[in-house]
Amino acid sequence: MDERLAKEIMKNFEGKSTEELLSFWKENNKEKWSEEAFESMRRILVARGESLPIRTEEKSGKKTLHDIPELYNLVLGGGLSRKALNIIAFIGIFIFGWLIALVFTFLGKQKPGYRYVMAILVILIFGRRLVPGIEILASVIYISGWIHANLVLSHCKTLARKRIAEIESQGEININTEIEKGLLFYRALRDKGKGVDLLRKSLQMADGDPHLLNLAGVVMSDYKQYREAADFFDRLLANTNDKILIKQVQKNRNYVQKKMSK
pLDDT digits (tens, 9 = 90+) for 27-41: 777 667 777 787 888
**Are residues 71 and 167 part of one domain?**
yes
**Are residues 159 and 74 part of one domain?**
yes
* Average pLDDT, integer, range 130-158: 81
**Are residues 76 and 46 part of one domain?**
no
**Are residues 104 and 27 part of one domain?**
no
**Are residues 108 and 26 part of one domain?**
no
The answer to whether residue 248 sits within a structural domain is no
User: Is the model's pLDDT at 117 over the cut of 80?
Assistant: no
Q: Of 99, 77, 101, nearest to 89 (Cα)?
A: 99
Domain final residue, candidates 114, 141, 172: 172
The answer to whether residue 44 sits within a structural domain is yes
Collect all residues with Cβ–Cβ distance below 8 Å to 258 and sequence separation of at least 6. Answer: none
The answer to whether residue 41 sits within a structural domain is yes
The answer to whether residue 137 sits within a structural domain is yes
Task: Report yes or no: 176 and 198 within 8 Å, Cβ to Cβ.
Answer: no
User: Is the model's pLDDT at 143 over the cut of 70?
Assistant: yes
**Are residues 36 and 68 part of one domain?**
no
Which amino acid, one-letter code, is at 35? E
**Are residues 75 and 42 part of one domain?**
no
- Any long-range contacts for 42-47 (C-beta under 8 Å, 24+ apart)? 42/66, 43/6, 43/10, 43/210, 43/242, 44/10, 44/13, 44/14, 45/18, 45/21, 46/211, 47/242, 47/244, 47/245
The answer to whether residue 244 sits within a structural domain is no
Total domains present in the chain? 2
H/E element, 151: helix 135-169
pLDDT number for residue 124: 64
Q: How far is CA 28 from CA 41, 117, 222, in A?
A: 11, 42, 37
Collect all residues with Cβ–Cβ distance below 8 Å to 200 and sequence separation of at least 6. Answer: 228
The answer to whether residue 114 sits within a structural domain is yes
User: Is the model's pLDDT at 120 over the cut of 50?
Assistant: yes
Domain final residue, candidates 172, 199, 227: 172
Q: What range defines the domain where residue 31 resides?
A: 1-58
pLDDT number for residue 212: 92
**Are residues 44 and 70 part of one domain?**
no
**Are residues 89 and 38 part of one domain?**
no
pTM (whole model) above 0.95: no
Q: Of 177, 183, 261, nearest to 218 (Cα)?
A: 183
The answer to whether residue 219 sits within a structural domain is no
The answer to whether residue 88 sits within a structural domain is yes
pLDDT tens, residue by residue, 202-250: 999 988 888 899 999 999 999 999 999 999 999 998 888 888 888 989 9
